[in-house]
Structure 1
């Protein structure tokens, strides 16, 4: 038995970040999650990838676990960035599409409601969000505006008495077709400021179109959302979003979620690589005994451990009340870059078999490309960090 063994839940964690930063109750909850992932969800993944569909059994298995308010975990910890981070880590270690699906509700949509809504709206809606009684999708990116969405947002909201009329299009919206409401960001035609609205998916003028042909996150279906003369009442507007500064605050909180997913992806890739090299034989012995293979595995573990240290400290600072854009941007930029390298090394040590779904590394290899780009590209996050370092904005 190797001296450095993988924990059944947290993978290879040589510095015991999980044991240091989670209570026993939280670890027990995540152990239960891991058992569910192994028994009910992992067997579905290869077919889900081939068919580019998300099996209903995924949320059927996850929702009853009540992972946003788990039994026995104090509410202060359940609502912490640290617990949410390790939850995303465990999900992504099994599959990034599964983690993205769950985080679309627990991270993107819930954060939009909690940070973008008034205190009254957040208090009313959050219990419905955490129970999945109200399912939502986060609609920010547009067909012609991704990295430049702050200044280029083309979706418009026009105030007409006690209601708003929305026109425009959104792109890459995860889970839009199964959401009850869409959290749509649009530019107010009166003052040019960005607002946010909870739009019923079945409202007149709303149309969704599936995006086909993806090579990453294949089970996680993404959509174009088209809005033509969609009318919503003022009560549907998230009262805490009154400009891009408010949207930026929401995005800053979300980047930590993605950094944790990028870290969990590395754990899954390392799992796949280590399992393979222990069994695969060439030249009469397991390839895990070859020097060049061990060097790659060591680099993978180094990337994973450095990423874990980064996201753990980021969440610790956020839980202490320190939310800085440059910190979350740095974490997302760094962990996604390392995820790209780690997943590529995993595929590499598997040789030709690294492109087969049955060995696991292929999914992480492809999904690393999506994680590298979503929730802020490498370049955009680098500019946020660079602005903090120099005091000079290099944004166009």
Structure 2
């Protein structure tokens, strides 16, 4: 008999790849003292009643998104996260949330307030961060770019089906050599008869392995400025492959995109993008939305810990009865109240036309930093079960890490705000900056 691979602690595989041993017990049977996250805990994190800051419409949408997320996503998220697969069968359910297109009016889009959109994304992230990222990439990046930078014909052609999730979008800026330094991208767009030819490579592009509509940002070979293009799935020379072995947002299908002489007709060039500054209005809004993802993740972790500590008993008492646990729970709760206020104020600054790039960057950097503390405390509170995705916290702990880095790392966003408050840009090392003088 071949030796076992994977040890003797349950289901392993023999040398031929066949499974050996018994399958794992259901979590409820293996650990009956606490309810797993497939039955999501009640929402109890709004301690300062910040819901009062929302309009009736915003509160109604939040309630709807919360109910659908808990019913449709919570029961399947652990399975698909573990498999690193996206639950395509859930897309029609996500469509019923009515979030695609967010603040865009017309073309089948909901025309939400930015606050309603942000709060709703937090509600999705509270249950599952991967699904919230799927919606953000599709709506706040791909759709918003077409809505803000596209022609009227492009809006009418692409937005209605995207708004209903009949087609799915992705947004490609980052490249293998250019992450934080995204404005230096190399992917080229060369003018050819009837349109453009795209050549280059993109990396970390969410939804790209299955997207029907790909918004590609490339450098104009003549002007050397940034241009935007709509590329359709299956275009000759286009190849998108899945990035494997991620530890976070495992349901999100991030991909490497290769562009080899991909032809884009002139009518699919986004006429409103002629420099990097032209996409800043897209990034400003999407950065606010991303700032609300850590808020939602923290809310879910707190809700899970609050229920778990009352259900789980040790030393003859529920864990909630111990002073150390109560202190950690209160620290988590305090962070969430502050995060909610920062997120809400950020939305109001945007809606009143007062928001600056520094405001958005500080919001995203700060909420993701505070959320790191919340999920770390949550992992401690759940003890051994804190490393099981079944109880949400381990999954949330891992999912937060890519969010901490995307849409501008903590450091880069801090420097954006730093530049704004000091008037001095410090993105390049001093030696590099001097050499270019």
Normalization by structure 2: what TM-score?
0.84
1:177-326 matches, within 5 Å, as 177-326=209-358
1:124-135 matches, within 5 Å, as 124-135=157-168
Correspondence for 1:154:
186
Change (3 A) 1:384 1:9: farther
| Cα distance between partner residues in 2 of 1:323 and 1:163 | 37
User: What is the CA RMSD across the aligned residues, in angstroms?
Assistant: 2.2
Structure 2 regions of 5+ residues with no counterpart?
1-39, 429-437
Shift of 1:124: 4.8
How far does the alpha carbon of each residue in 1:65-98 deviate from its partner, in whole angstroms, 9 at most, with x for none? 433489xx99998422101101101000001001
1:15-164 matches, within 5 Å, as 15-23=48-56, 25-68=57-100, 78-122=111-155, 124-151=157-184, 153-164=185-196
8 Å CA contact 1:354–1:361 kept in 2: the answer is yes
| Cα distance between partner residues in 2 of 1:386 and 1:164 | 38
| Cα distance between partner residues in 2 of 1:126 and 1:302 | 40
8 Å CA contact 1:143–1:171 kept in 2: the answer is yes
Shift of 1:22: 2.6
Bigger CA radius of gyration = 2
| Cα distance between partner residues in 1 of 2:44 and 2:156 | 36
Correspondence for 2:14:
none
Correspondence for 1:384 among 409, 413, 416: 416
8 Å CA contact 1:68–1:78 kept in 2: the answer is no
**Structure 1 stretch 91-100 or stretch 243-252: which is displaced more?**
243-252
| Cα distance between partner residues in 2 of 1:107 and 1:147 | 19
8 Å CA contact 1:9–1:90 kept in 2: the answer is no
8 Å CA contact 1:204–1:230 kept in 2: the answer is yes
8 Å CA contact 2:140–2:286 kept in 1: the answer is yes
| Cα distance between partner residues in 2 of 1:41 and 1:264 | 15
8 Å CA contact 2:58–2:116 kept in 1: the answer is yes
Shift of 1:177: 2.0
Structure 1 regions of 5+ residues with no counterpart?
1-6
Change (3 A) 1:297 1:184: same
Normalization by structure 1: what TM-score?
0.92
| Cα distance between partner residues in 2 of 1:368 and 1:338 | 11
8 Å CA contact 2:100–2:109 kept in 1: the answer is no
8 Å CA contact 2:91–2:165 kept in 1: the answer is no
| Cα distance between partner residues in 2 of 1:298 and 1:76 | 39
How far does the alpha carbon of each residue in 1:303-344 deviate from its partner, in whole angstroms, 9 at most, with x for none? 111111011011111111233111110100000101111111
Correspondence for 2:27:
none
SS in 2 for 1:323: coil
SS in 2 for 1:228: strand
| Cα distance between partner residues in 2 of 1:328 and 1:336 | 12
Change (3 A) 1:365 1:382: same
**Structure 1 stretch 318-327 or stretch 74-83: which is displaced more?**
74-83
SS in 2 for 1:132: coil
How far does the alpha carbon of each residue in 1:114-145 deviate from its partner, in whole angstroms, 9 at most, with x for none? 22223553355333322223321011111111
Shift of 1:11: 4.1
| Cα distance between partner residues in 1 of 2:281 and 2:68 | 33
Shift of 1:247: 2.1
8 Å CA contact 1:10–1:90 kept in 2: the answer is no
| Cα distance between partner residues in 2 of 1:68 and 1:139 | 18
| Cα distance between partner residues in 2 of 1:69 and 1:199 | 19
Shift of 1:57: 2.7
Shift of 1:35: 2.0
8 Å CA contact 1:117–1:238 kept in 2: the answer is yes
Change (3 A) 1:366 1:143: same
